[in-house]
Chains A and B, each alone.
Chain A
């Protein structure tokens, strides 16, 4: 069971991992049966981080119940926490908290405290003053590095000395791989990526105060891919915030320069992915904390696709003694039509072949559960089997409740993608926003002709359209559910439920769309 360890660094990393979870939930395949997301972000209460972690927890819970059911296509890939990997390897799982690696020493200190400025001698103090501004030195670290990679690089360097990293290294197997997601313009990501990469490639683990470390050869020779995300948004001008998007471009250039020598240039990476966009969208300039809840962006979805692409192509990559031997691959994401309103028809054929059917299937699955399931429980797919789908199931079953929660997140994710700029509008939906917070609360579909809601794609007509009273919309859907239920047969309730919907949505998407 080859694992893919995905390091998501900073806010962008967390959001990309969330998009990845959504894609995996909809049934997008990766060649790795198990993915281990590790989010590195000192911003503990970051809004995006929490959303991502909640979604990942729900995904896990759902997968554990039904993931091995062969008739079901959703939530197929296993998502594991590093703690669980460590437990399996009989280590101490407490070195990491679930999906999140907590960077030590940032809870309440300022940067000054972190570097022990107070205890430096005068000449070191002057050096420090050269490298860091007064503002830098006095910043609170528990909200990230506020777009200052110079601070970040110092603080994150301790990762390689952490127990978590030690445990990670010990459990890393020959067949496993690594992928690193970071933004190039931000604070945490820009600095974290090359650091982690360096630590991995050195393969030496220093625990405690050892001078020598243990070498983990598998880790050193691991196949590693990464995506570095170019600027795709700006922040509003806010005098209170230290983050200034005008500096994004400058910092990007600096980082790229560094990478060309120390990332790709020295062959420490096997596969490099790029993605970026015009920075049209302006986000509210908030310095992290609970409020840093950026809407999901299409670029994040596309970035998640790089992970999929990596998983499908990594077998041709090779590392020997910490250096990539085969050709390093460089890939950039593109779409077919330049537009601010992206539909499936604007995506390339290869992108569509990965996500179009899957997202549509999950979308219809989600839609039915939201608007119809409660009132359509008397049909055979629900009642004609020993495990019945009934109001009990909907209201009390923990599996379903978790699934509903996840599904709401999915809908919010779609709504945010829709409302963000560039707009990702594969489906004709309406976004429901909260009056006060202006956050996306949910989406709705008003068109009763449910197969016309894929933008740019018209409903496929079959010969059945010419019979008198052809089955349409939800009736067709339910009839496919009934049929799928027969195929799925008897099983545990949650498995039967997922299998039925998986087969049925596949069938209707195939029959009515593509």
Chain B
């Protein structure tokens, strides 16, 4: 699974040796999977669990996207950092750039999943764009 997600992440951000370390520690797999699952969760949250007329405007969807973004950003920093610090490896700005890219990727997943699942939402099927 590492190999599945690695090209995606590295398309957004590739720098040695940080990217190789991410690969070696299987972080692409963990973060990729986390992204998919968390974005799925947030999309399901918005469209099926919350599913309310009063919370179905485009900017409500955007709020959830931003929360997802924040979670992914944090994960994208914390997960690599915990692993690397434990191994004695030091990085600085790489974490933040990667966190940002991770958040962008998660947002894309959220976006795509939204468009896949919104059809069956009773109250939010036209969010964020009417079809």
Chain A residues within 8 Å of B, Cβ to Cβ? 376, 378-380, 383-384, 469, 471, 475, 478-479, 482-483, 486
- Whether B122 and A483, one on each chain, are in contact in the complex, defined by CB atoms closer than 8 angstroms, is yes
> Are B130 and A379 in touch, CB under 8 angstroms?
no
Interface residues of B, Cβ cutoff 8 Å to A: 51-54, 56-57, 122-126, 130-131
- Specify which chain B residues have a CB less than 8 angstroms from the CB of A482 in the assembled complex: 53, 122-123
> Inside 8 A of B57's CB, which chain A residues have their CB?
378
Which A residues lie within 8 Å of B130 (CB)? 378, 383-384
Which 10 pairs from chain A and chain B are nearest by CB? A478-B53, A482-B122, A475-B54, A380-B125, A482-B123, A483-B122, A479-B123, A479-B53, A475-B53, A383-B130
Known A-B contacts A384-B130, A384-B131; A475 and B122 likewise in contact (beta carbons under 8 Å): no
Chain A residues near B56 (CB, 8 Å)?
379
Is B52 a contact partner of A475 (Cβ separation < 8 A)?
yes
Q: What number of residue pairs across chains A and B have CB atoms under 8 A from each other?
A: 38
Minimum C-beta distance from A371 to chain B (A)? 15
B35 to A: closest C-beta gap in Å:
27
- Mostly, the A contact residues are helix
A378 to B127, CA, bound (A): 10
Residue in B52, B53, B123, B130 with the greatest tally of chain A CB atoms within 10 Å:
B53
Residue contacts A-B, CB under 8 angstroms, 14 given? A378-B126, A380-B124, A383-B130, A384-B125, A384-B126, A384-B131, A469-B52, A471-B52, A475-B54, A478-B53, A478-B123, A479-B53, A479-B122, A482-B53
A-side contacts of B131, CB under 8 Å: 384
**5 other contacts beyond A376-B53, A471-B52, with CB at 8 A cut-off?**
A379-B126, A475-B54, A479-B122, A482-B53, A482-B123
Chain B at the A interface: mostly helix, strand, loop or mixed? loop
Q: Could you say which residues of chain B place their CB within 8 Å of the CB of A483?
A: 122
- In the assembled complex, the Cα of A90 lies from the Cα of B15 at a distance in Å of 90
A222 vs B81: C-alpha distance in the bound complex, in angstroms? 92
How far, in angstroms, from A475 to B60 measured CA to CA in the complex? Answer: 15
Measured CA separation A482–B56 after assembly (Å) = 12
Instruction: Give min CB distance, A464 to chain B, whole Å.
Output: 12
A486 and B126 contacting across the interface, CB-CB below 8 Å = no
- The interface residues of chain A lying within 8 Å CB-to-CB of B52 are 469, 471, 475, 479
A376: chain B residues at CB < 8 Å are 53
**Which of B54, B56, B131 has the most chain A CB within a 10 Å cutoff?**
B54
Residues of chain A within 8 A of B53, CB atoms compared? 376, 379, 471, 475, 478-479, 482
**Which of B52, B123, B126 counts the most chain A CB atoms within 10 A?**
B123
Chain A residue contacts of B54, Cβ below 8 A: 471, 475
Q: Least Cβ distance of B131 to chain A in Å?
A: 7
Distance between Cα atoms of A378 and B123 in the complex (Å): 10
Neighbouring A residues of B125 by C-beta, 8 Å: 380, 384
List, in ascending order, chain B residues with CB within 8 A of A380's CB. Answer: 122-126
Q: Name A382's closest neighbour in chain B (CB-CB).
A: B126
CB distance from A483 to the nearest CB of B (A): 5
Tell me, rounded to whole Å, the shortest Cβ–Cβ distance linking B13 to chain A: 38
Chain A residues in 8 Å Cβ range of B124: 380
Given the contacts A471-B52, A479-B52, A486 and B123 also touching, CB distance less than 8 Å: no
Nearest Cβ distance between residue B91 and chain A, in whole angstroms? 41
Interface centre among B52, B122, B126 (most CB of A within 10 A): B122
Shortest Cβ distance from B128 into chain A, in angstroms? 12
* List of B residues within 8 angstroms of A378 by Cβ: 57, 126, 130
Q: Which residues from chain A contact B51 at a C-beta distance below 8 Å?
A: 479
- Shortest CB-to-CB span from B15 to chain A, Å, is 44
Minimum Cβ distance to chain A for residue B84 (Å):
39
Shortest CB-to-CB span from A144 to chain B, Å, is: 52
CB distance from A380 to the nearest CB of B (A): 5
Q: Nearest A residue to B50 by beta-carbon distance?
A: A469
Tell me the bound Cα distance from A482 to B131 in angstroms. 16
Residues of B within 8 A of A383 (CB): 126, 130
Within the assembled complex, what's the spacing in Å between the Cα atoms of A380 and B121? 9
